[in-house]
Amino acid sequence: MANMKVLGSALALYCAFSATAEAKLYKWVDEKGETHYGEVIPPEYAGQEKAQFEKGREIKKKEAVDDAAQREKQAEEKRTAMEQRRKDQALINTYSNESEIDLARDRNLQQVEARINSIQTLVKTAQANLDNFRKEEEAAKKAGRKVHESLHADIAEAEKKLEKLKQDLASAQQKEAEIRASFEADKVRYRELTAAPKKKR
């Protein structure tokens, strides 16, 4: 009788494997020590020791992890390829030639270049003000006079303002470099997309 039960269990397991040849099957043990098989692990047993089967074959843990990582990598590559195709199509639809890309770049640069010029002017003014405060401080020291607290405050404020302007200038110049690099990359890609195929000899 016991042999019949074992045979029945084995037959049921074989049928389960056969029916799910293309699906994944999991094995887990409940709190009573009973073994179960199914395509989905109940949430309460998700953290317990379990085995995964695919096409009737048990997959080792590392193999399962590697398989999941490979699928995720392939999915990411597919998303990247789709995004590149979208960008390529937009590039072709937006421009008729490389000169139009240059014109678009120059339009985008106008505002940032105007900002750079404005900040550079402010930097020169702030630097001149700071230099004047420092000269005043140096003159007072040479004359043996006490440097007034308000002058110290003016110097500190001028230094702070100058540093902020320099940071703004660096940020604007970085933005300018990014715009130029972006449009240059677009030109290179546009050239690749529109290049006539080479004739076979």
Share of the chain above pLDDT 90, in %: 58
Claim to verify: residue 21 and residue 112 sit in the same structural domain:
no
Domain extent, residue 55, equals 2-64
Say how far apart CA 14 and CA 53 lie, in whole Å: 12
Domain identity same for 41 and 109: no
Tokens of 102: 């240059």
Least confident of 7-11, 106-110, 179-183: 7-11
Residue carrying the six token digits 């004047």: 132
The number of distinct structural domains making up the chain is 2
Token pair recorded at residue 45:
């047993």
Q: Does residue 172 contact residue 119 with C-beta atoms inside 8 Å?
A: yes
Contact yes or no for 98/187 (Cβ under 8 A): yes
In this structure, are 41 and 104 located in the same domain? no
DSSP 133-151: HHHHHHHHHHTTPPPPHHH
Residue 125 falls inside a structural domain: yes
126 burial (CB, 10 Å; 0-12 / 13-18 / 19+) is buried
> Whose structure tokens read 């402010």?
122
CB 132 within 8 A of CB 189: no
Over residues 125-150, the mean pLDDT reads 94
Residue 83 covered by a domain: no
pLDDT at 52 over 70: no
Do both 113 and 24 map to the same domain? Answer: no
pLDDT higher than threshold 80 for residue 186: yes
Q: What percentage of the chain has pLDDT greater than the value 70?
A: 74
Q: Which of 2-11, 39-48, 78-87, 147-156 has the lowest mean pLDDT?
A: 2-11
Lowest mean pLDDT among 20-24, 27-31, 42-46, 113-117: 20-24
Range with the poorest average pLDDT among 31-40, 87-96, 162-171: 31-40
- Separation between Cα atoms, residue 181 and residue 108, nearest integer Å: 12
Helix (H, G, I), strand (E, B) or coil at 54: strand
Residue with tokens 């080792």: 60
**Average pLDDT for residues 67-76, to the nearest whole number?**
85
Burial class (CB within 10 angstroms; exposed 0-12, middle 13-18, buried 19+) of 50: middle
What is the pLDDT, as a whole number, of residue 199? 60
**Residue 29 vs residue 179, higher pLDDT:** 179
Residue 161 has pLDDT above 80, yes or no: yes
Which of 48, 64, 80 terminates a domain? The answer is: 64
What is the model's pLDDT at position 131? 97
Measure the CA–CA gap between 131 and 52, rounded to whole angstroms. Answer: 75
pLDDT over threshold 50, residue 6: no
Model-wide pTM > 0.85: no
Residues 102 and 184 in one domain: yes
